[in-house]
């Protein structure tokens, strides 16, 4: 990438580093997330200290004021693109994206489309990020519906859920494409050869499922994917597949429930430890081990969820992302850029054989 | 109930207790479950020792041989009804129920219909138990679809999921009835006044959901129930509602995932404890507290899931039920009989206002 890309109009450079062009430039929506720009900027500063090039998009004065908290920020590969408006977490996704052309996430998408950066990360209103990406970047050739591919961490390994929430109602064609895109994502991003693809269902037998699953199962069974059949909630949590395919309603419920139940379990353990004095002492000894165990399931360690099927690398972060989740998101986006993910995704869509 | 009910033809009495007629008589499918009759009989013996009247249905010789392991069984309120056939966990539900008229669960349902007992509990093939109940007992007046109401234990309290798996595809009328029946179940069985009813969705706003949820939400909002709106997986796990309404596909995935993730979490804690010598020592001190914490989420403590909407008290146990889960199931069924649940359920169905 030519260095000139970094000094285009509207991009204010804070850094004089000449090595930036060699590394992926991650465009980050500074006003995305429940906690405003402070944790976003903090996470980006952390990522930049690791050498990532970050382009922050949002009210320039506010972003600069946040950056000023870090004395080394001026020497880091961080740039700022001004954006005058913000899409809130409660805004109606599609309407807000159309009405607020100058919103930070819209400006971020346009910066990606214009080649000012290589990927977008936003922890903002996820419906709006999706709408903004679709509106500005468009879909890959042949994609019926882009999907959110979210990682659920497990005891050993992890499972990627597609769709984790982009499309509440789906048909079998959608699920077939999700399966191909999810499999490719896991192969390219997590380095798993022939990822095991499961179809989330209410029973493992091919005869079990709702109408959508019953229509999808035989097509996955005949596909070129490494299809391991229907997968139930228990087996999903036990890591019996690398990619779990479902409609976005089911996927979103699954993702949030997994988070809710793991919080519940660690709260139970915490309550148990506090219940007696000698448990408290033992708990203090165990604390580092338990914190480490809790981290295995902590979304903040796992970066953003890619919106697969759009013309560009777009990663969506958890709305409640703190700095650590933001820097994970920047890191994941950078890996996707280095892995040249988009052409692979295009191949996956073609391989799915779903007619446009 | 007249004592004569206990000495009808075909019921072999093992007990001479004259107090049986005062307590609910729970008919138990002795051949239901993954582990055969041994844990079922063990659980029933435990329940009978607490004073519950149990009628075991299955191959009489096998059941008697199991009972003979317990020297006190002859003095307990346990009876046996012979049934020559068994429906396996892998049998096709509806086909097997029709083909094997003499299967233990079919005989159990007929015994309930004939008034030989007051409730049925089976940990067998859940699809087959539902088919058998529908076939033999029929639905309550006005019920479109019976549903499975399963309890998920939480840190404080619990949530009842309806439908937890009886109907993979549902319409809004079904969900409205599930909501009314679930609310009544929680009110009568768990003693919660005006239970909070939530609609499982991929977002809390009324505008979020798949087509089914979008069609159901306004009707629940206008209902006489204490509807608290859409509920996401995190809030579900945090106990924000007492009844969570969904189609049986979603409910089944939720139920099994909750179990899978809690197993995963406790495995993580176990792995952490084993990772270092001083953690092992602390873990040994904490062990009773952690075991107690784990029990909070243990399905075996919570008995069976009622099949609501059929003409009779039918409880379905987890296929992998061991003795403790079986005796919990007997206990729950007895509570339902004492609470006179069926007339309440009929009222709930009428209150739902769904036209037949």
Do the Cβ atoms of A272 and B286 come within 8 Å? yes
User: Quick one: A277 and A218 in the same domain?
Assistant: yes
Rg, C-alpha atoms of chain B: 21
- Residue A181 reports pLDDT greater than 60: yes
CA–CA separation, A156 and A21 (whole Å): 36
Q: Please provide the DSSP assignment of B277-294 as one string.
A: HHHHHHHHHHHHHHHHHH
Measured in angstroms, the CA of A217 and the nearest CA of chain B are apart by 15
Of A250, A264, A273, the CB nearest to B155: A264
Q: What is the CATH number of the domain that holds A151?
A: 3.40.718.10
B34: its two tokens: 């993954």
Radius of gyration over every alpha carbon of chain A, rounded to an integer in angstroms: 21
Q: Are A97 and A194 contained in the same domain?
A: no
- Same-domain status, A64 and A117: yes
Question: Is residue B200 a contact partner of residue A253, using CB atoms and an 8 Å limit?
Answer: yes
Contact yes or no for B202 and A297 at CB 8 A: no
For residue A219, the tally of other CB atoms under 10 A from its CB is 18
Torsion, Cα of B32, B36, B42, B43 (10° steps): -30
Looking at beta carbons, which residues of chain B come within 8 Å of A159?
none
Per-residue confidence (pLDDT) for residue A20, from 0 to 100: 36
* Residue to test with chain A: of B88, B215, B237, B284, most A Cβ within 10 A: B237
| Candidates A208, A234, A282; nearest CB to B286 | A282
User: Nearest Cβ partner of A211 from B169, B268, B281?
Assistant: B169
Domain match, B135 and B263 both: no
Q: Which residue of A has its CA nearest to B293?
A: A268
Q: Do B211 and A168 touch (CB under 8 A)?
A: yes
Whether residue A236 and residue B257 make contact (CB cut-off 8 A), yes or no, is yes
* Minimal CA separation from A200 to chain B, in Å: 8
* Residue pLDDT, tens place only, A87-108: 988 888 889 999 999 999 999 9
pLDDT at A261: 87
- Structure tokens belonging to residue B146: 């019976």
A170 and A242 belong to one structural domain: yes
pLDDT of residue A22: 64
| In-domain check, residue A345 | no
- The answer to the question of residue B282 being in a domain is yes
d(CA A104, CA A83): 5
pLDDT for the residue A8: 32
Q: How far is B183 from chain A, CA to nearest CA, in Å?
A: 22
Q: Answer yes or no: is A356 within a domain.
A: no
Instruction: Give contacts of B232 with chain A, Cβ < 8 Å.
Output: 252-253, 256, 260
Q: B257 and B198 share a domain?
A: yes
Q: Does the residue A44 lie in any domain?
A: yes
Closest residue in A to B267 (Cα) is: A155
Could you tell me if B43 and B18 are in contact, meaning their C-beta atoms sit under 8 angstroms apart? Answer: no
> What ipTM was estimated for this complex?
0.87
Residue A9 has pLDDT above 60, yes or no: no
Neighbours of B7 (CB within 10 A): 10
Closest chain A C-alpha to B26 CA, distance in angstroms: 29
Residues B170 and B131 in one domain: no
Q: Where are the alpha helices (DSSP H) in chain A?
A: 37-49, 60-67, 93-99, 104-113, 126-137, 172-190, 211-221, 233-237, 248-274, 277-296, 323-338, 341-352
Of B248, B264, B276, the CB nearest to A289: B276
User: Taking a C-beta distance cutoff of 8 angstroms, is the pair A132, A310 a contact?
Assistant: no
Residues of B in contact with A281 (CB under 8 A): 282, 285
- Is the Cβ pair B264, A154 closer than 8 Å? yes
Residues B65 and B85 in one domain: yes
Structural domain contains residue B347: no
Which string of b and e fits B63-96 if b means at least 16 CB within 10 Å?
bbebbeebeebeebbbbbbbbebbbeeebbbeeb
In CATH, what number is assigned to the domain containing residue A106? 3.40.50.10950
> Read out DSSP for A78-125?
EEEEE--B---TTS-HHHHHHH-TTBHHHHHHHHHHTTS-SEEEE-S-
User: Percent of chain A at pLDDT above 90?
Assistant: 70
Q: Is the pLDDT of residue B1 over 70?
A: no
What does pLDDT average to over chain A?
89
- Asked if B238 and A263 come within 8 Å (Cβ–Cβ), the reply is yes
Is the residue at B277 inside a domain?
yes
Residue B271 CA, distance from chain mean position: 32
Q: In sequence order, what DSSP letters do the residues of B229-260 get, joined into one string?
A: EEE-HHHHHTT--SEEE--HHHHHHHHHHHHH
**Where do we find the tokens 């037949």?**
B356
Q: How far is CA B112 from the centre of its chain?
A: 16
Strand partners, A315: A121, A306
pLDDT digit string, tens, across residues A266-294: 888 888 888 888 888 888 888 888 888 77
Helices B248-274 and B277-296 pack at an angle, to 10 degrees, of: 160
Distances (CA, A) of A79 to A25, B25, B150: 10, 75, 53
Q: Is the pLDDT of residue A64 over 70?
A: yes
Distance separating alpha carbons of residues A241 and A222, to the nearest angstrom: 18
Residue tagged 């007492």 (tokens): B242
Return the half-sphere exposure (C-beta side, CA atoms, 13 A cut-off) of residue B317.
37
- Look at residue B18 in the predicted model and tell me its pLDDT: 33
SS3 assignment, position A31: coil
Same domain as B262, residue B138? no
Task: Give the single-character DSSP code of A140.
Answer: P
Q: Do B76 and B100 reside in the same domain of the chain? A: yes
- If asked whether residues A151 and A208 sit together in one domain, one would say yes
Stretch B157-183: mean pLDDT, rounded? 95
The number of CA neighbours under 13 Å toward the Cβ of B347 is 10
Q: Are B321 and B123 in contact (CB under 8 A)?
A: yes
pLDDT tens string A65-84: 999 999 999 999 999 999 99
Per DSSP (E only), the strands in chain B are 12-13, 25-29, 53-58, 78-82, 119-122, 147-153, 158-162, 196-200, 226-231, 243-245, 305-308, 313-316
In sign, the C-alpha dihedral spanning B13, B19, B25, B27 is negative
Q: Residue B209 domain-assigned?
A: yes
> Does residue B155 share a domain with residue B207?
yes
E strand or H helix at B295, and its extent?
A: helix B277-296
d(CA B286, CA B275): 15
Domain total of chain A: 2
Q: Beta partners for A148? A: A307
B125 assigned to some structural domain: yes
For residue A174, give how far its alpha carbon lies from the nearest alpha carbon of chain B (Å): 15
Contacts of A157 in chain B (CB under 8 A): none
**B126-137 helix and B104-113 helix, angle to the nearest 10 degrees:** 30
Provide the domain limits for residue B188: 146-302
Per-residue pLDDT for A133 more than 60? yes
- Identify whether the C-beta of residue B306 lies closer than 8 Å to the C-beta of residue B315: yes
Min distance A26 CA to chain B CA atoms (Å): 28
CA dihedral B256→B259→B264→B270, nearest 10 degrees, is -160
The answer, yes or no, to whether residue B15 has pLDDT greater than 60, is no
| pLDDT tens digits, one per residue of B286-305 | 888 888 887 777 766 667 89
Alpha-carbon distance B34 to B123, whole Å? 8
Query: For position B97, what pLDDT does the model report?
Result: 92
pLDDT at B170 over 70: yes
Interface probe, candidates A170, A259, A265, A319, chain B, greatest B C-beta count within 10 A? A265
Using CB atoms, pick whichever of A286, A292, A297 lies closest to residue B286. A286
Q: Which residues of A touch B209 (CB under 8 A)?
A: 168, 249
Q: Which three-class secondary structure state does DSSP give residue B311?
A: coil
Select the residue from A90, A261, A275 to test the B interface by mutation, using most B Cβ atoms within 10 A: A261
- Residue A17 scores a pLDDT above 80: no
pTM value? 0.89
Rounded to the nearest angstrom, the minimum Cα separation between A103 and chain B is 22
What is d(CA B186, CA B326) in angstroms, rounded to the nearest whole number?
21
User: With contact defined as beta carbons under 8 Å apart, do B206 and B221 qualify?
Assistant: yes
Per-residue pLDDT at B110 exceeds 70: yes
The answer to whether residue A352 scores a pLDDT higher than 90 is: yes
Please state, rounded to an integer, the average pLDDT across all residues of chain B: 89
């Amino acid at each position: 990438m030519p260095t000139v890309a970094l000094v285009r109009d509207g991009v204010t450079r804070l850094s004089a580093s000449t090595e930036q062009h060699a590394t992926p430039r991650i465009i980050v929506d500074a006003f995305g997330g429940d906690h405003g720009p402070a944790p976003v900027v903090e996470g980006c500063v952390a990522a930049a200290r690791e050498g990532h090039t970050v382009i922050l998009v949002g009210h320039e004065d506010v972003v600069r004021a946040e950056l000023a908290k870090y004395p080394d920020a001026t020497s880091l590969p961080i740039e700022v693109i001004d954006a005058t408006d913000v899409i809130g977490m409660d805004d109606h996704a599609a309407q807000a994206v159309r009405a607020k052309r100058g919103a930070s996430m819209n400006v971020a998408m346009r910066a990606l489309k214009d080649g000012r950066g290589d990927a977008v990360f936003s922890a903002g209103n996820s419906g709006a990020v999706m709408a903004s990406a679709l509106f500005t970047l468009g879909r890959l050739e042949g994609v019926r519906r882009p999907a959110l591919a979210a990682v659920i961490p497990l005891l050993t390994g992890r499972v990627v859920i597609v769709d984790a929430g982009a499309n509440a109602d789906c048909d079998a064609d959608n699920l077939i494409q999700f399966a191909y895109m999810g499999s490719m994502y896991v192969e390219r991003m997590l380095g798993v050869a022939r990822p095991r693809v499961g179809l989330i269902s209410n029973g493992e037998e091919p005869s079990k499922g709702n109408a959508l699953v019953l229509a999808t199962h035989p097509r996955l069974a005949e596909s070129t994917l490494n299809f391991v059949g229907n997968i139930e909630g228990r087996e999903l949590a036990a890591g019996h597949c690398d990619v779990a395919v479902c409609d976005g309603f089911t996927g979103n419920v699954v993702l949030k429930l997994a988070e809710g139940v793991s919080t519940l379990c660690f709260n139970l353990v915490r309550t148990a430890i506090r219940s007696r004095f000698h448990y408290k002492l033992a708990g203090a000894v165990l604390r580092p081990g338990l914190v480490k165990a809790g981290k295995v399931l902590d979304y903040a360690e796992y970066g953003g969820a890619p919106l697969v099927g759009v013309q560009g690398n777009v990663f969506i972060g958890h709305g409640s992302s703190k700095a650590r989740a933001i820097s994970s998101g920047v890191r994941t986006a950078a890996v996707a850029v280095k892995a040249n993910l988009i052409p692979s995704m295009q191949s996956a869509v073609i391989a799915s054989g779903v007619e446009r």
